Amino acid sequence: MPTRSEDFAGLTVAMITPFRDGQVDVEALQRHVEFQVEAGTTCLCPVGTTGECPTLSNAEHERVISAVVEAAAGRIKVMAGTGSNSTEEALHLTRWAAQAGADAALIVAPYYNKPTQEGFFQHFRTLAQAVDIPICIYNIPGRTGKNIEPETIIRLAELPNITMVKESTGSMDQASQIVNATDLTLLSGDDSLTLPLMALGARGVVSVVGNIVPKDMIALVRAFNAGDVAEAQRWHRKLFPLCRDMLGLSTNPIPIKAAMQMLGRDTGDLRMPLVRLNATEEAKLRATLVRYGLLT
């Protein structure tokens, strides 16, 4: 039976995929897992957008999922990214994640195809019927080209193992409709909107900036859950410039990989067509890291 969706409340980190000399760096990946375990992170999400999933071969995708599950060793939950614009490919990857021992699957709306709302429903239903692990719908129309409308998500919420939604539309109204009409665990898909969405009923965040400051994101979530809104607001204000740079300087995951390289935690290598920050962008990011206290 699917794990309770409440078990995924808190901080889920959208992991980068580390590369070295053009290949997946499994040792670095495992070190990243240890970093998050030590921080007290709730869940890891490998091979999502931040993990550069569109540039990974199926074999690499599978290898990353298996490596993260193995390194996690039951100490931290794993929600593997298994989406695709092909239902058949998403089905293969979701089955792989379930067999590898992932605790849940994060499945992005089929991109580029621009399905109808009925097409979205049939896509997710097909996947939900094929596995028994919880599924988190990832709705990010800015990347996929089309919104999964609230009415469709409400229909999908009736399926037993569709238990979560990663809300990345930026629409407070859409989030409110979902929270009001379903018992799905709603997770913020944008770091900077974590506090506003939690005020509406979200239970946590799938975070990019959590790759470098997981304890601070955890502190924000815990403060809000404890009813200390002023403390949650303090963390929000501190985190906001960092969150802004992760998405505002360039396309995710370019800035977070650059930040991790500056902090000595990654090579910063990307796969084409993604390229590194230019000198001006790097200087802005470094200044933000200095102001935050991560660099001197």
Distance (Å, whole) CA 65 – CA 102: 8
Residue 206 resides in a domain: yes
Residue 245 resides in a domain: no
- The answer, yes or no, to whether residue 3 has pLDDT greater than 80, is no
- The answer, yes or no, to whether residue 1 has pLDDT greater than 80, is no
Mean pLDDT of all residues in 156-162: 96
Residue 236 resides in a domain: no
Residue 89 resides in a domain: yes
Q: What is the pTM of this model?
A: 0.95
Residue 149 resides in a domain: yes
Distance (Å, whole) CA 66 – CA 58: 12
Domain containing 200: what range? Answer: 5-226
- Supply the pLDDT for residue 7: 82
Number of domains in the chain: 1
Residue 106 resides in a domain: yes
Residue 42 resides in a domain: yes
Q: Which CATH number characterizes residue 24's domain? A: 3.20.20.70
Write out the catalytic residue numbers.
138, 166
Tens-digit pLDDT profile for residues 234-275: 999 999 999 999 989 999 999 999 999 999 999 999 999 999
- Residue 78 is given by DSSP the state E
Residue 212 resides in a domain: yes
The residue among 69, 80, 73 whose CA lies nearest residue 26 is 69
